[in-house]
Amino acid sequence: MRVIWFIADGLTYCFWVYSIALLSSYLFVGVFAVLEMRKYMRMRSFTDYSILASSQYVPGISVLAPAYNEGATIVENVRSLLSIHYRNLEVIVINDGSKDDSLQRLIEHYQLERTDHFVEAAIATKKIRGIYRSRNPVFHKLIVVDKDNGGKADALNVGINVSSKPYIVCIDVDCIIEQDALLKMARPFLDSGDARVIASGGVVRIANGCEIRNGRLVKVHLPDSFLPRAQTLEYFRAFLLGRMAWSRLNALLLISGAFGAFDKEVVIECGGYNHATVGEDMELVVRMRRYMEERHLPYKVTYIPDPLCWTEAPASYKILGRQRNRWTRGTIETLSMHRKMCFNPRYGRLGMLSFPYWLLFELLAPIVEFVGVIASVIACIFGGLNVPSFLTLLGFILSFGILFSVLSILMEVLTFNQYKNSRDILRLALTALLEPFLFHPFIVWSAIRGNIDLLRKKKGWGEMSRQGFSANKSKVYAKS
Amino acid sequence: MKILVAEDEPILIRVIEMRLKRDGHEVQLAEDGQQALDRLEEGPPDLIITDIMMPYASGLEIIAAVRAKSWPKVPVIILSAMGQEDVVLEAFQLGADDYITKPFSPNELSVRVRRLLTAK
Amino acid sequence: MFHLHLHVSPVMPGKAWLIIAMLTVLGMLVALLCLILFFLLRRSRVERLRLKYQDLYGQIIQRAIFWEATKESPEIAIPFKVARSLSRAHLRQLMIFQLVKAKKAMSGTAAANLVQLYHQLALHEDSLRKLTNPKWHLQAQGIQELAVMEQRGSVTRLYRLTNARNEVVRREAQAAIVQLYGFDGLRFLDVINTPLSEWQQIQLLRLLQQSAGTPQEKIFRWLTSSNTTVRVFTLRLIAEQHLQQVTPQVAERLRDDCPAVRLQAILCLGELAATDTAGLLTAAYPGEDLAGKLAILQTLGRIGAEGELAFLDAQLSTPDNRIRLETARALVRTGEEGLKCLDRFPFIDQSPWNEIFQQAKTEWTI
């Protein structure tokens, strides 16, 4: 009996240390995010981005938009991409072997013609079937690439090969991009400094419930159903707090695949997107950073918190569960591919701070939580649980979590203020109260399933590419 | 004369409207590219003044749309903050008749409008 | 993020502490919620006011643009409602915002009238007051407002800020002087020892777009400045202003130590397009890195390379496909002679040349 008590004590102790570390990390994120956001907003308050729109000295950007079976909306989406305000721009739509009429619709609507186009295969990819350009000079920025199906990472690599500009912006084709998005994204690449900006991350916001016309966002509303609303809040926490704080330390490990800008030269040096993982967006950033660190080259990964990209979030538990399952696998794969960096002082802050943080608090948190719940249920059954103490602790942690959510709502109100209707904000605050009970457990469970699937080396691995990536929404990674 | 003005900056569009009305023109306003294209569907104006960078559709698309119609030639004046040679050339290649860069003078705009309308 | 303990043991902090911690967090939670409520209420009030006055101010601005001074009315008429509303600080700021926006798009008498309105409403005092505000972003904003509104009277204060400790303030003050005095305002380039960021260069080029009359001897000096970014900026300026007379000095920059300067010199020469440019570029070609080589080929295509066909022909056989493609483009753009040169190429039917040539040709016809 004594041994059991001893083990229980030990476990409890570990939980305590872990919890305190986790809570401190939250405090750090909160404080750093507020400081960094203040700095950004002040800078933005007097910056006239429109001078970039008319300048010829802005860096050239290729927008890469992989598409798989997006026929229903592709014409409209491409149209909104073409109307982005930017002088030195090329829009590359990569049709990843769609089985629908995506390509046909593009050809008809944009008067495309198959052209001879030499592509230097800087990164090995699946075969390109053809490259199309428009006869109409109004659409001269558009390049459509038709290729054999190979998954999102492969499609992006083809885009990189075709691209003729020094920077690439990778987006999900069904995202709605604000027209001034690239002006804001290009800004960090124009600031001087010894450090080369190798990547710049953008924000993804949730478009469910918003009014959309002609592929453009007209009015922002909070989604009506609970699941997207909870995700809205989750994205607030991730983008207004988490990313902001990490970017202050120049220690961002993840840029969402749905909207991020990269220095193409470094991407190619590193070998492009890796199709061996489902977390290709995170993996690329980690690999690029690792590349720069190992060569002792000064570099920066920046982050732009303006809401520039809007996307439809999964509205059913089934699809959401699958998405989170995949995110979890992607994270584990990325971290294990680069495990060498963990606690390795050679990689500076990255090795000593970001990496361990991801390992301990993003990856391990759901597992610890899951084990904790099981353990307390067992303890409760065997009468080893001090119920009042337990409830106080639970109350403390719950209110801490809610505090963090509410802080992110406050940040939104004070900064970008997209939800003009005050009722939306109050409903969001209510969501913050409910989310730990209704939404969070499901997210934890999906993460656990991701772990299990990875352990079992699910046979469905290769099927990813054949399924395409319509459901493979890019990762946001909320602190939850 | 009926003039279609496409410009997304509210103050500017009113200023242009006021100036043209003073010259005795009838003015149609479009606050974004889509509105301008919709207006064109209703029939040809006598002249078009358009910005280049606007929501939904650019001024260049508007020129292309006008030129694709089988109307007798409608003069188009571009009014844009972009003054670089290549943009101006592109606009003229697509069929613009005049190009005014911002900052601009409403009086000058009025003179150029008159010139194009009389030349027609 | 919920963790629990299994069993109360000595390693745990006492329950009293936990309760205190929980109450603290709950207190903070309530405080944050109150803050949100407070800001929401304020927001809706501000928004209402903004909507109410935005159109009104817009109308005043429109009227001011078409205003003509007469003996009877030497000033722009301001309705009482507007004058009264301007006793509130944030409405004054709203007026300044709208004036600045309109002023940026206007020139001639319309612009002068807007400045007149700005003065008449004493809004320059608001802008000047910002210059002494301890917050750097407000200083920067004030500087911009004064510059857009052509407040040459406050130039001494702006000059002082060109030495401000805060980098952003310093930069905005430099830009403001340029906006007010054109090329004369570029004097700071003589002494600047920090890099001019790309952003700042874009900003300055934009401000100088309307200016004319570049001081040549200054251009010469900046072209040999020890600050790399000043050299790059000067080359860009020469290109934008088409200063043909300095072509020889630009050509000297083809031998600059810094690749970024050489690259800019190539592009600048392409813009100036003198008769001997093609020869100069082909002479510089062997010493260039890849980016420089590509830029030279591109420029040759732009200015036409009838005299350099043999040079281009030789580049078609280099191992790098990027160079081959750019060479083919240059040949296609050069015209008939260039096309003949492509057709004569011995490996025209072989990959990758066939694809490269086809691409160059179709690109040109689109």
Give the model's pLDDT for residue C13. 61
CA distance A41 to chain B (A): 23
| The pLDDT of residue A4 | 78
Task: Indicate if the alpha-carbon torsion angle A96, A99, A101, A107 is positive or negative.
Answer: positive
Of C3, C195, C362, the CB nearest to A368: C3
Residue B44 has pLDDT above 80, yes or no: yes
Beta strand pairing call for A259-263 and A299-303 = unpaired
Partner-chain residue, chosen from A51, A118, A193, that has the shortest CB–CB distance to C321: A118
pLDDT at A127 over 60: yes
pTM recorded for the entire structure: 0.92
φ and ψ at residue A267, rounded to 5 degrees:
-60, -45
Whether residue B22 and residue C58 make contact (CB cut-off 8 A), yes or no, is no
- Mutation for C interface: A116, A140, A402, most C CBs within 10 A: A116
Give the CA distances from residue A126 to residues A145, A153, A155, A156, C86, in Å, rounded to whole numbers and listed in that order.
12, 11, 8, 11, 65
Block residue for tokens 């008159």? B114
Residue B85 pLDDT > 90 = no
Contacts of A56 in chain B (CB under 8 A): 84, 86
pLDDT digits (tens, 9 = 90+) for A406-446: 999 999 999 999 999 999 999 999 999 999 999 999 999 99
Distance from CA of A457 to the nearest CA of C (A): 27
Residue C4 has pLDDT above 50, yes or no: no
- Smallest CA-to-CA distance from A284 within A268, A276, A272, A293 is with A272
Per-residue pLDDT for A401 more than 50? yes
pLDDT number for residue C12: 56
User: How many residues does the structure list for chain C?
Assistant: 366
CA distance A283 to A288: 9
CB distance A83–B81 less than 8 Å? no
Query: Locate tokens 């003015």: which residue?
Result: B27
The chain-wide mean pLDDT, for chain C, equals 91
- Chain C positions touching B14 (Cβ under 8 A) are 58, 62
Residue A470 has pLDDT above 50, yes or no: no
With beta carbons less than 8 A apart as the criterion, state whether A230 and A317 touch.
Answer: no
- Among the residue ranges A101-110, A203-212, A450-459, the one predicted with the least confidence is A450-459
The predicted-structure confidence for A336-372, as pLDDT tens digits, reads as follows 999 999 999 999 999 999 999 999 999 999 999 999 8
Chains that touch A (3 or more CB pairs under 8 A): B, C
Q: State the nearest Cα–Cα gap between A130 and chain C, in angstroms.
A: 12
Residue by residue, DSSP assigns chain B as: -EEEEE-S-HHHHHHHHHHHHHTT-EEEEESSHHHHHHHHHT---SEEEE-SS-SSS-HHHHHHHHHHS-SSPPPEEEEES---HHHHHHHHHHT-SEEEESSB-HHHHHHHHHHHHHH-
Report pLDDT for C204.
Answer: 95
ipTM of the complex: 0.91
The average confidence (pLDDT) of chain A is 90
Give the closest of C58, C110, C210 to B105, CB-based.
Answer: C110
Q: Contact at 8 Å (CB) between A12 and C5? A: yes
User: How does pLDDT run across C207-255, given as a tens digit for each residue?
Assistant: 998 787 778 889 999 999 999 999 999 999 999 989 999 999 999 999 9
Interface touch A83/B84, C-beta < 8 Å: no
- Token match 């944030």: residue? C90
Report the C-alpha gap between B104 and B90 in whole angstroms.
Answer: 20
Q: Say whether A54 and B83 touch across the interface (CB within 8 A).
A: yes
Query: What band does A180 get if pLDDT is binned at 50, 70 and 90?
Result: very high
User: Strand, coil or helix: what is C223?
Assistant: helix
* Residue C140, SS3 per DSSP: helix
Percent of chain A residues past pLDDT 70, beyond the cut: 95
Using the Cα atoms of residue C123, residue C128, residue C132 and residue C135 in order, give the sign of their dihedral.
Answer: positive
Phi/psi for A66 (5° steps) reads: -75, 140
The predicted structure's pLDDT at residue A108 = 96
What is the per-residue pLDDT for A338? 96
When scoring B5, B8, B9, B15 by the number of chain C Cβ atoms within 10 A, the one with the most, hence best to mutate, is B15
Cβ atoms of B81 and B100 within 8 Å: the answer is: no
CA distance B102 to chain C (A): 5
- Give the domain ranges of chain C: 300-366
Q: What confidence tier does A460 reach under pLDDT thresholds 50, 70, 90?
A: very low
Phi, psi of A435 (to 5 degrees): -55, -40
Separation CA C123–CA C321 (nearest Å): 60
How much of chain C exceeds pLDDT 90, in percent?
73
To which residue do tokens 């990964």 refer? Answer: A301
Q: Tell me which chains share at least 3 CB pairs under 8 Å with chain B.
A: A, C
Tens-digit pLDDT profile for residues C137-165? 999 999 999 999 999 999 999 999 998 99
Closest residue in B to C63 (Cα) is B15
CA distance B13 to chain C (A): 10
Nearest to A178 by CA among A238, A117, A259: A259
Q: Using CA atoms, how far apart are residues C261 and C249, in angstroms rounded to an integer? A: 13
Mean pLDDT of A105-125: 93
- Per-residue pLDDT at A458: 58
Terminal alpha carbon distance of chain B:
12
Which of A270-274, C189-193, C360-364: highest mean pLDDT? Answer: A270-274
Task: Please give the mean pLDDT across all residues of chain B.
Answer: 92
pLDDT of residue A477: 46
The answer to whether C290 faces chain A, any CB pair under 8 Å, is no
Residue of C nearest to A433 (CA): C29
Cβ neighbours, 10 Å, residue B62: 28
